């Protein structure tokens, strides 16, 4: 009995320990959510937790081609003074470029750090120099001032794909190696760049200092939740240090979350009347720098003491900068535009006349702008060539981006980015004599821009597949000297006869040109002379322009479904069942009535039955509807299916529970949208429009953007509807429009109405009007005394008079941030500029709207912390004349 009781006790004890262990692991994971920590060279399945930081590291083996690399450890003597993630290295003695592929969350802001510690791992005592690439762009050059120095390369980056590819490139100055790769997710609102540069600019860490350090220690995670590495700054004779006892629970953080241990110390001038100055030398006069100054009052001031100061950079005064740090409250001042044009920069903090105490500064970060404008290969081509590589186990050093940088383009490939069309496309594939076996893989047909394909001198078998007919751009095909069988597709033969395709199928004993052909001499003529081949290549290069006519290709192809799926094409009988014989009308617009529907899986949908008037200009309903089925974005209303049966045309959309924006802005609506709700709706709509304009190739223009086409789901998240329909239904698709190509009176761009020419800036104008409707709560056109008055006729004179207060919807009763409202008005004014070339891209508008929301959040939370120092002038931009009547 005692043994049984003891056994039960031990059993429950072990279970309890197991549960506690699991809870500890879960907590550790939660603490490091968004962390990816790779110990490069660490043997697989040797994961560990670094003792000094508590960071969990895993091997990099699954993210790299280990066959082309070597795992080494640094000398034992070097391990003593370094964290465990620096004890191993992965070196790359073979191949010019070796790349990692690390899976991440797309559209997420990351701090990405690569670490390099030589530690004499190769016993040569001679640190190498090599380049570090990021996809198709050059990241950094890694060089060591001495063998004992640890080098960090750190960038802030938002990946557009679900993976990143850091690459090490041998430049002939020693074998590349790497110690660790670390990724940390960041708040979207930190480390922003100028919107005009954001598409191609990446922030690269230039310096980060704990200025007031009294311990002379480095700090990182867990002191810093973002795992930034803070270096101590050397003492200066004209500075003195201030300190207090402070932990993370004592410090009120801002969105940058600087660590309490760093913010517990500060520097201040020895001479209380002198400025506090910090300087750095630029690498190049054309380099651009962003600065981030972190403040916290470390002294509890007496009632008669104040600390307030202004700032200059290279003696340039910033009139809107005035800092008065609060006790135990972190504040970060950042620059909204980069510094450039100087060889040396000096930041000076001067106390104001009202201040009794000199300025302080706790910590500083400087980031340099990196140009990452080199586009990566079009994703469909990447997927196709990767499938080809994996299927045939291609032995070539195919790593990183296939087409870029151009110097490191994959062997056997040629790519183009003609006429400014981005991203690059693969136009030539030469896998001759590559040891290929098996059949010709379908993925080759997905390289839709191929002009030259050479698969000769391999061991390919099976038929010459019909799917090669789909390569409409193909001008040269060589499959000679293989083991292919069956008939040569007739379409390929026809193209060869007409001279549009040079085709070689010789030395395939089982391949026939006709069913009655013999076993030999079955090839169509192959042009083999060198001079003629040169002529062919010249013709290929001159023929680039014809490929602009390629079928629309969307970058978000992962979400494509079969266009013939029964879940997308509905019969009229199915429409009747879905809508319960058109029982419930939930809306009506220019296209026709909208009915509530329920699918078989009980999903609610909105069924739009197209009216006869909307079909007057009907062109290619089915093809355009199928095209829209593959357009997916969280801020676009999803098209689920369509009906194209005789005269019955219908579109089936996801159901949006909260109707459209127009309904929420009506005068009689008692549920008044708050200012921050309006900003969130504007941001959502801008995201959707940004995807249409910049995420689809070629871009999709909406051409009828207005509040009734901005729908709201159950969470009040906004989605754009009716995009792309104007192209399918010709000119007069909206019953309340006269003869204009598309658009709604009041929202349509006057330039578009005048010329009929469509471009992105027409949508930007309409978006500007939508912003003014959101700001003012007024309709785009108000009828008064028998006259139509456009919203711009009312709002622009008030703005010119500087009275922003009276522009904002009076129903808000003053519950909004004036700075935020001013910013949104400025954005709206830029959208409706009469000179359409001066209107910003929607991506820039999106960035500025997010800044406006940040300004509102700051005021609503009762502080001024985190506001940038730069404020643009609204009234300088309002100089262009506006029509007296629209």
Find tokens 């009716």 and name the residue. Answer: 722
Distance CA 451, CA 193 (A): 40
Per-position b or e across 201-212, b if 16+ CB within 10 A of its CB:
bbbbbbebbbbb
The pLDDT score that the predictor gives to residue 320 is 58
Please indicate whether residue 354 or residue 645 has the higher confidence score (pLDDT): 354
**CATH 2.60.120.430, the chain: domain bounds:** 31-186
- Active-site residue, 704 included: yes
Percentages helix, strand, coil for the chain (3-state, rounded to 5) are: 25, 25, 45
Q: What is the pLDDT, as a whole number, of residue 520?
A: 41
| Range of lowest pLDDT (4-13, 88-97, 685-694) | 4-13
State the sign of the Cα–Cα–Cα–Cα dihedral 69, 70, 71, 75: negative
What was the pLDDT predicted at 606? 93
pLDDT tens track for 442-458: 999 999 999 999 999 99
Band of residue 860 on the pLDDT scale cut at 50, 70, 90: low
pLDDT of 662 above 70: yes
What does the pLDDT look like over 782-794, one tens digit per residue? 877 778 899 999 9
pLDDT score recorded for residue 1: 44
93 vs 694: which has the higher pLDDT: 93
Section 249-261 average pLDDT: 93
CATH says 659-877 is which class?
mainly alpha
pLDDT of residue 448: 93
User: What local confidence, expressed as pLDDT, does residue 149 receive?
Assistant: 93
Could you read off the pLDDT of 524-550 as tens digits, one per residue?
Answer: 444 444 444 444 444 444 344 333 333
The pLDDT assigned to 319 comes to 59
Whole-number pLDDT of residue 28: 37
Catalytic residue among 381, 704, 749, 819: 704
Of the pLDDT bands very low, low, confident and very high (cuts 50, 70, 90), residue 595 is: very high
Q: Looking at the chain, which residues constitute the CATH 3.80.10.10 domain(s)?
A: 379-550
357 vs 665, higher pLDDT: 357
Kindly write down the DSSP assignment for every residue of 831-848, as one continuous string: HT-SSGGGSPPHHHHHHH
Q: Are strands 129-134 and 166-173 parallel, antiparallel or unpaired?
A: antiparallel
Do the Cβ atoms of 328 and 296 come closer than 8 Å?
Answer: yes
Q: Identify which of 59-68, 161-170, 555-564 has the greatest average pLDDT.
A: 161-170
Give the CATH fold of the 203-371 domain: Jelly Rolls (2.60.120)
Secondary structure of residue 794 in the 3-state scheme:
helix
Give the helix ranges, DSSP H, for 267-378: none
The DSSP bridge partners found for residue 131 are 141, 169
Question: Which range among 98-112, 373-387, 565-579, 638-652 shows the weakest confidence by mean pLDDT?
Answer: 565-579
Task: Report the pLDDT value the prediction gives residue 378, as an integer from 0 to 100.
Answer: 92
Is the pLDDT score of 346 beyond 80?
yes
Query: Average pLDDT, stretch 453-464?
Result: 94
Confidence at residue 701, expressed as pLDDT on a 0 to 100 scale: 85
Q: How far is CA 613 from CA 19, 610, 734, 756, 761, in A?
A: 67, 8, 8, 21, 28
State the Cα–Cα distance between residues 332 and 340, nearest whole angstrom. Answer: 21
pLDDT in tens, 489-519: 999 999 988 888 889 998 999 998 775 554 4
Q: Which two tokens stand for residue 510?
A: 């089982």
> How far apart, in Å, are the Cα atoms of 191 and each of 186, 365, 466, 824?
9, 10, 52, 21
Four-residue CA torsion sign, 89, 91, 97, 101: negative
Fold (topology level) of 379-550: 3.80.10
Query: What's the CA gap between 125 and 487, in Å, rounded?
Result: 63
Average pLDDT over residues 758-772: 93
Name the least confident of 621-630, 716-725, 859-868: 859-868
**For range 69-86, the mean pLDDT:** 92
pLDDT recorded at residue 629: 74
CA distance 199 to 213: 36
CATH architecture designation of domain 554-655: 2-Layer Sandwich (3.30)
For residue 497, how many other CB atoms are within 10 A of its CB? Answer: 12
Q: What's the chain's average pLDDT?
A: 82
HSE value, Cβ hemisphere, 13 Å, CA-based, for 152: 17
Beta-sheet pairing, 231-232 with 201-210:
parallel
Task: Give the CATH number of domain 31-186.
Answer: 2.60.120.430
* CATH code 1.10.510.10 region(s) in the chain: 659-877
- State the pLDDT at residue 117: 97
pTM: 0.57
Q: What percent of the chain has pLDDT over 90?
A: 57
């Amino acid at each position: 009995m005692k043994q049984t009781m003891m056994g039960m006790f031990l059993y429950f004890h072990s279970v309890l320990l197991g549960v506690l262990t699991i809870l500890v692991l879960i907590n550790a994971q939660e603490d490091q959510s968004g962390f990816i920590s790779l110990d490069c060279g660490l043997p697989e399945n040797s994961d560990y937790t670094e003792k000094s930081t508590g960071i969990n590291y895993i091997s990099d083996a699954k993210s790299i081609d280990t066959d082309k690399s070597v795992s080494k450890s640094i000398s034992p003597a070097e391990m003593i003074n370094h964290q465990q993630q620096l004890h191993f290295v992965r070196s790359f003695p073979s191949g010019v470029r070796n790349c990692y592929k690390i899976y991440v969350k797309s559209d997420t802001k990351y701090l990405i750090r690569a670490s390099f510690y030589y530690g004499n791992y190769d016993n040569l005592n001679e640190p190498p120099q090599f380049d570090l690439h990021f996809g198709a762009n050059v990241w950094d050059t890694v060089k060591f001032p001495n063998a004992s120095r640890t080098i960090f390369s750190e960038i802030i980056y938002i990946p557009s794909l679900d993976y990143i590819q850091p690459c090490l490139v041998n430049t002939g100055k020693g074998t590349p190696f790497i110690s660790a790769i670390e990724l940390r997710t960041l708040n979207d609102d930190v480390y922003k760049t100028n919107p005009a540069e954001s598409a191609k600019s990446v922030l690269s860490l230039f310096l980060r200092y704990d200025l007031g350090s009294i311990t002379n220690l480095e700090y990182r995670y867990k002191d810093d939740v973002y795992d930034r590495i803070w270096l101590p700054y050397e003492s200066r004779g004209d500075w003195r240090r201030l300190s207090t006892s402070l932990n993370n629970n004592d410090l009120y953080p801002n969105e940058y979350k600087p660590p309490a241990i760093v913010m517990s110390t500060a520097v201040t001038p020895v001479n209380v009347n002198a400025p506090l100055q910090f300087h750095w030398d630029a690498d190049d006069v054309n380099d651009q720098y962003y600065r981030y100054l972190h403040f916290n009052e470390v002294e509890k001031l007496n009632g008669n003491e104040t600390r307030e100061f202004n700032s200059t950079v290279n003696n340039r005064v910033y009139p809107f900068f005035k800092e008065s740090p609060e006790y135990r409250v972190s504040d970060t001042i950042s620059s909204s535009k980069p510094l450039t044009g100087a060889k040396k920069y000096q930041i000076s903090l001067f106390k104001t006349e009202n201040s009794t105490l000199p300025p302080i500064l706790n910590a500083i970060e400087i980031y340099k702008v990196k140009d990452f404008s080199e586009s990566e290969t079009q994703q469909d081509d990447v997927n196709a060539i990767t499938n080809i590589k994996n299927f045939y186990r291609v032995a070539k050093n195919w790593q990183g981006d296939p087409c870029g940088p151009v110097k490191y383009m994959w062997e056997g490939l040629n790519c183009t980015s003609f006429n400014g069309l981005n991203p690059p496309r693969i136009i030539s594939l030469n896998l001759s004599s590559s040891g290929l076996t098996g059949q010709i893989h379908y993925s080759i047909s997905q390289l839709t821009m191929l002009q030259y394909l050479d698969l000769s001198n391999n061991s390919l078998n099976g038929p010459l597949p019909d799917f090669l007919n789909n390569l409409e751009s193909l001008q040269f095909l060589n499959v000679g000297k293989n083991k292919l069988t069956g008939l040569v597709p007739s379409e390929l033969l026809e193209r060869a006869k007409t001279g549009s395709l040079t085709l070689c199928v010789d030395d395939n004993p089982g391949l026939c040109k006709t069913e009655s052909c013999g076993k030999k001499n079955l090839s169509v003529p192959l042009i083999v002379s060198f001079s003629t081949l040169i002529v062919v290549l010249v013709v290929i290069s001159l023929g680039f322009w014809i490929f602009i006519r390629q079928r629309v290709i969307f970058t978000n192809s992962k979400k494509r479904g079969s266009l013939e799926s029964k879940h997308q094409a509905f019969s009229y009988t199915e429409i009747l069942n879905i809508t319960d014989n058109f029982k419930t009308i939930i809306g009506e617009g220019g296209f026709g009535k909208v009915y509530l529907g329920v699918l078989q899986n009980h999903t609610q949908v909105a069924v739009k039955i197209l009216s006869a008037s909307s079909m007057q200009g009907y062109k290619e309903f089915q093809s355009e509807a199928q095209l829209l089925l593959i357009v997916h974005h969280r801020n676009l209303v999803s098209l689920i299916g369509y009906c194209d049966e005789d005269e019955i045309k219908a579109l089936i959309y996801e159901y949006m529970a909260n109707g459209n924006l127009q309904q929420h802005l009506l005068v009689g609506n008692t549920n008044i949208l708050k200012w921050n709700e309006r900003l969130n709706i504007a941001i959502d709509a801008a995201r959707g429009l940004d995807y249409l304009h910049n995420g689809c190739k070629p871009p999709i223009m909406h051409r009828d953007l207005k509040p009734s086409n901005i729908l709201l789901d159950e969470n009040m998240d906004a989605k754009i509807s009716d995009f792309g329909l104007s192209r399918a239904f010709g000119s007069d698709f909206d019953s309340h429009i006269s003869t204009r190509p598309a658009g709604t009176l009041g929202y349509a761009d006057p330039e578009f109405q005048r010329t009929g020419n469509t471009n992105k800036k027409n949508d930007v104008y309409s978006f500007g009007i939508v912003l003014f409707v959101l700001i003012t709560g007024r309709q785009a056109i108000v009828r008064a005394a028998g006259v139509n008055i456009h919203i711009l006729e009312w709002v622009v004179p008030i703005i010119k008079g500087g009275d922003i207060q009276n522009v904002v919807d009076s129903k808000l009763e003053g519950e909004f941030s004036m700075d935020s409202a001013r910013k949104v008005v400025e954005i709206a004014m830029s959208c409706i500029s009469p000179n359409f070339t001066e209107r910003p891209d929607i991506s820039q508008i999106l960035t500025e709207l997010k800044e406006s929301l940040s300004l509102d959040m700051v005021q609503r939370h009762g502080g001024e912390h985190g506001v940038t120092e730069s404020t643009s002038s609204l009234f300088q931009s309002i100089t262009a004349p506006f029509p007296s009547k629209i």
